[in-house]
Amino acid sequence: MLAAAIVSDVFAGGVGVIDRTISCPVPVVGGVNKLNFYARTNGAPTHVGGKTEPNPGALGVVVGQSYGALGVQLVGISSAKAGYIVNHSECVSAAAIQLGRAGLPSLGVFTAKGAGTTRECWIGSVATIRLHVTFGASGTPVAAELAVRSGQRRRPVAFVEWTPKRVSAFASASCHAASR
C-alpha cells in the first residue's frame, strides 16, 4: 500500500526515530469527508509461482478511497525495509498533536498473524496526523504510534500502537468497519 511515486520523507536505515505531524485535506467521497486507516501485524508468508513472498505488517492512512478507487496514501509504514512514507505533496507540516488514546474506545488488540483492523472515518475537511516510528538496526520499522485528529478543535479520531506482532487500535464513533 505504500506508493513510491509520492513525494515523501525517506529514512536511510539504521536505528533511529522519526516523528512527523502533518495537516492534510480530506476529500468528499460519497457525500462525506472520508479518511481510512488500517493496521495489521505481519502475516504468514504467501506462496506465488513457486516463490515465498513476505507479508509485512503495515499501518497507514488513506483518503479519497471508495469502492474501486485506491485513494491517496498520507502516511504509512510497513515492516519491510525502508517501509515508511509521509506525503508532503498532499499535506503540510503541522504542530505536533498528542500521542495517546485521548479517551477513544478500543477496537481491540490484535496479535494473530495478519490480524488487524481497517476503519472508515467520517470527519472534518482537514485531518491532523502524527506518526512516530522507531526503526531497528536493519532499518525496518519495529514500533509506531499513529494519532489522527480533525476539526478546528482537533478532536481525537483514531490512535494506534503498532509493532509487527501486535496492534492496539482505538477510534471514535465516527469510524466504522470500512466498506468495500
Q: What is the pTM of this model?
A: 0.89
Of 39-53, 105-119, 163-177, give the lowest mean pLDDT range: 39-53
Tens-place pLDDT, residues 10-53: 545 556 899 999 999 999 988 999 999 999 999 999 888 899 98
pLDDT bin (cut points 50, 70, 90) of residue 175 is very high
What contacts 51, CB < 8 A, 6 or more positions away? none
Q: Dihedrals φ, ψ of 153, to 5°? A: -95, 5
Q: Which residue has the higher pLDDT, 166 or 4?
A: 166
Of 51-60, 61-70, 119-128, 161-170, give the lowest mean pLDDT range: 61-70
Percent of the chain with pLDDT over 90: 72
Locate 31 and state its grid cell: 457525500
Listed as own residue / partner, the contacts of 3-8 with beta carbons closer than 8 Å and 24 or more positions apart are 3/73, 3/85, 6/72, 6/73, 6/85, 6/87, 6/89, 6/90, 7/87, 7/88, 7/89, 8/85, 8/86, 8/87, 8/88
